[in-house]
Amino acid sequence: MQTNAFVSEPGAFRIRAADHAAALKSLQRGCPKHMVIADYLQNPEEFASTRYLARAFELLGTQCDVDGGDLVLVPFASSESADLSVYYWDFIETLAHEENPGSLSEGTKLAMIEAGEDVDDEQDARHHASEAADDFISEMGDRKITLAELDAVIASEGSVDFCDYNGDTPLLAASTSYRWAISARADAQMDGDTDTDGDEGDDDDDPEEEAYAAQEWERNVHNLHTVLQRRPDMGARNRDGSDALGLAAESGSVEFVDLLMAHGATVNAGALQGAVRSLSLDMVRKLAQHHAHLAGPDLLVGACSAYSIVPGKLEMVRYLVEELGCDVNARATKVASAFKGPVGRLGTALMAAALTDDLALVQYLLSAGADLHAADAYGNTALHYCSGQTWVNEPGGGTLWFALDDNPKVIDLLRSHGADDGARNVAGRTPADLLASRRPHGPADEAD
């Protein structure tokens, strides 16, 4: 299976390909007899008969990543009861190799869970945060701050780049709020252009709501400009890896981007990715004008992951392929988030288009030479992605796959070009399996 540079999370464990059979046998022998696991185990009959270790983990509610022939998993990523790893770990412990030796200092997280301690890793995000800093940044979301108040916290913390418990600086907090304010304002303006009958007019506008929205907008503008007066670090990043310019680019506001660049923000790959996610072609052209070299393999997959009915999506993809030179078969280096769910590592633009049931985009990508048979790191093809849910829900819930109106047409189009209904991912699941097992979520599913 094709692979690329793989970087595992701290605390990850690897089960070598040579140990898969032994690990599967151990799980199948021990898990059904365990009182807690037996209550949560999905499809006990399939669990007992599957020949795929990855599928056994799926039926236990845990999806691993794949690196070559090895399975990599983080068994203690959550303390939720739905995460069974704390219980089944005894059955595979001798067959799992720690990816980052020493990352589980002072024993394992398993011992911490058994001792009733919190293992959600929030301590990593709370480094250096004081109560005063956290309170101040929290208040930025509720009211206008003054320069004197900001200076007082700077004096006590020693820098304008102090963080709250979530690791956000004042600049990141202000930029995040401003980004969402731009989105809310655009939505309000769109709603104001059309009344409930689809006619132009504003007879249904609520003066109180308009006044509140105006106050929110003024607060966010004021707070951002206040923070910028103290020359914050424009390269600071939040927990998702985004900096202020990336947040601005994702808002689609050229004015927002120009403001931050005037204060020293520099264009980077994250900003270009944010601009692509905004589907603002003017924004992408502006940022890519002297930075085309920043167009990495994740850019096209990110554009194709947008909601299929969003205006400008196909135009953006055409620009990326035909003008910016993005490879239509480029492999994503990380998991990409689409509105319907994730596109796995090593995923392609065609997989993202298929997941979003974007018929026009699938047609374009195929005409541009997209590889119909490419598989992501988990072995899923584009046909897998439009046939059913290819991922395991997060403990306690998660994104559920659903079919849109064009789903049957996307499936038919891929099949007409030779897509294989029998292609198996590393869990042994084929597109036909996913199609047969998916629950009805709408007219498109009910018709299948």
Instruction: Name the E strands within 264-319.
Output: none
User: Among 66, 93, 120, where does a domain finish?
Assistant: 120
Buried b (16+ CB within 10 A) or exposed e, 140-167: beeeebeeeebeebbeebeebbbbbbbb
**CATH classification at residue 415:** 1.25.40.20
Taking only the tens of pLDDT, the chain with its 448 residues reads 344 567 766 678 899 999 999 999 999 999 999 999 998 888 899 999 999 999 999 999 888 889 989 999 876 544 444 567 878 888 999 998 887 654 433 334 443 334 344 444 444 444 567 999 999 999 999 999 999 999 999 999 999 999 998 899 999 999 999 998 888 877 666 555 555 455 554 555 678 777 888 888 999 999 999 999 999 999 999 887 889 999 999 998 999 999 999 999 999 998 999 999 889 999 999 899 889 888 888 999 999 998 878 889 999 999 999 999 999 999 999 899 898 999 999 999 999 999 999 999 999 999 999 999 999 999 999 999 999 999 987 655 566 889 999 999 999 999 999 999 999 999 999 999 999 987 654 444 444 4
Is residue 256 in some structural domain?
Answer: no
3-state secondary structure of 53: helix
How many domains does the chain fold into?
A: 2
pLDDT the model gives residue 159: 95
Give the whole-angstrom CA distance, residue 44 versus residue 236.
48
> Residue 216 region, left (φ>0) first, then alpha (ψ -120 to 50), else beta?
alpha
Q: Where are the alpha helices (DSSP H) in 289-439?
A: 298-304, 313-322, 349-355, 359-367, 382-387, 407-416, 431-437
Is residue 198 a part of any domain in this protein? no
Q: Is residue 348 one of the residues assigned to a domain?
A: yes
Domain hosting residue 56, numbered range: 13-120
Residue 309 lies in a domain: no
Residue 181 forms part of a structural domain = no
Q: Is residue 217 part of a domain?
A: no
Pick from 226, 8, 5, 193: nearest CA to 96: 8
Domain termination residue (choose one: 120, 148, 178): 120
According to the model, what pLDDT value does residue 114 have?
A: 40
Q: Give the Cα separation of 412 and 295 in Å (integer).
A: 32
Q: What is the pLDDT of residue 395?
A: 53
- The whole-number pLDDT of residue 126 equals 43
Structure tokens given for 104: 């589980």
- DSSP of 5-46: ---PPTT-EEE-GGGHHHHHHHHHHHGGGSHHHHHH-S-HHH
In single-letter form, the type of residue at position 139 comes to E
In a domain, 21, yes or no: yes
Last residue of a domain, one of 120, 153, 175: 120
- pTM, two decimal places: 0.81
Domain annotation covers residue 49: yes
